Amino acid sequence: MKNDAVSRRISMLRFLMIFGVVVVHTPPTASVYEMDGTVWPYITSFFQNGVFKAGVPVLTMISGFLLFFSNGDQKYFELLKKKAASLLIPFMVFNFGHIALQLVLRLTTGRWLGEDLFSQNLDGWMNSLFSLRGVPENDPLHFLRELIVLLVLAPIFGLLIRRIPVIGLMTVSIFFLSNTDGYLINRSDMPIEFYIGGLAAVYKWNLEVLDKFSYVSLTLFLGACAVVSLFQIGSITWLRLISPLLVWSAASLLVNKKIGSWMASLSIYSFFIYLTHAPLMRMIWILCKERMSTHNIAIFTVVAPFVVTILCIYIHKNARAFAPKLFDWATGAREQSKKYQLESYVVNQPERISQLQVLTQNSSKENDSLADSVSESIVSGSYSESPNLVDNMVTVSDAKLI
């Protein structure tokens, strides 16, 4: 059963894992093959190659859960239309926009934010634009590319999950881990995590059953990350596969704490942070790196993720206030203001609403009207006078795959 506690945990993890993605992309990124014998590279590697490598796997499993929870695979053409708006358009806008920014900087300053685009052949350009065989120019967006392919494959996954769940899991694992799919999916662990999320939704797993092992899960997860760092393990598919369940269980330690509620309230910014953090991080790095000593680089590695995240939130607020319709279109129309306010309210003041789950798959006129009524009551302060508005209110969460 997807109750309000599970919804809050999803919201909290959405923000925390995307902040982790920012950490992973903070230069100079640590390589397990380039340890110099000092302590700092091991600490950096622990977080960049270990702890926050869980970000994409956790988000992938949540995405699979939300899609199959709403039976999105059984409304295929509706699903494709919706995800074209919520995933494909943001991919195009923010990847092409990144390339345009690269070209402007190259022509005005002589610098590139990333690789020299002028030196690429046609194949390289096609990959930079559309992520055909690897990461796109705005490289974190590879996750959206992979997720779009998984959504296209959703009916096949759904058939396997509902008919032959165990054999289906084995088939998906062997097919993708052996790279039989070629360039269809570039991250071989993602289909497995997506499938397991679907299993949890279709078979209504008790998502809180592992909470009693939260400290054990946290210890195992951090221990695995330490092994990756200390023994300089480069191939971490195994860590990606085990991390979602361990992180989900360990997250129960935070979800009912103030810090957990605070992170959950910030989940409304998470997708925009994901879309925009890479170019911001690269520009800050270019401005700072020539002026920094080795000691200052360590400080940069710690401080930069927080600075970039704050900047993304600031840009989000101002861009949406300046051009709300354009902003919503470019970011996938994920933030319909009243539902948006409602989710933040519920996360921060769960005691005021006994049962409110977040669902967007079925954004019917009836649900939209109910959401508007509830949010207007909340904003006006009259909610306590009309509690009947939200006895079993369900507002959108599957569209927020990230």
Q: How far is C-alpha 48 from the chain's CA centre?
A: 16
Distances (CA, A) of 185 to 61, 180, 275, 307: 15, 10, 20, 32
CB 130 within 8 A of CB 96: no
d(CA 160, CA 173): 12
Question: Which pTM was predicted?
Answer: 0.84
Comparing CA positions, the residue from 393, 392, 373, 396 lying closest to residue 383 is 373
d(CA 95, CA 87): 12
d(CA 364, CA 361): 9
- Domain extents in the chain: 4-266, 337-395
The pair of structure tokens assigned to 34 is 């380039």
d(CA 269, CA 133): 29
Distances (CA, A) of 30 to 42, 47, 164, 190, 324: 8, 9, 41, 23, 38
Q: Is residue 389 classed as helix, strand or coil in its secondary structure?
A: helix
The pair of structure tokens assigned to 378 is 């909340």
pLDDT in tens, the chain (402 residues): 457 889 999 999 999 999 999 999 999 876 655 666 788 889 999 999 999 999 999 999 999 999 999 999 999 999 999 999 999 999 999 999 999 999 998 888 888 777 778 888 888 999 999 999 889 999 999 999 999 999 999 999 999 999 999 999 999 999 999 999 999 999 999 999 999 999 999 999 999 999 999 999 999 999 999 999 999 898 999 999 999 999 999 999 999 999 999 999 999 999 999 999 999 999 999 888 877 776 788 899 999 999 999 999 999 999 999 999 999 999 997 544 444 444 444 444 544 444 444 444 444 444 444 444 444 443 334 434 344 433 333 333 333 445
Distances (CA, A) of 83 to 59, 74, 188: 16, 14, 22
Render pLDDT for 179-234 as a digit per residue (tens, 0 to 9): 999 999 999 999 999 999 999 999 999 999 999 999 999 999 999 999 999 998 98
Comparing CA positions, the residue from 3, 13, 5, 4 lying closest to residue 251 is 13
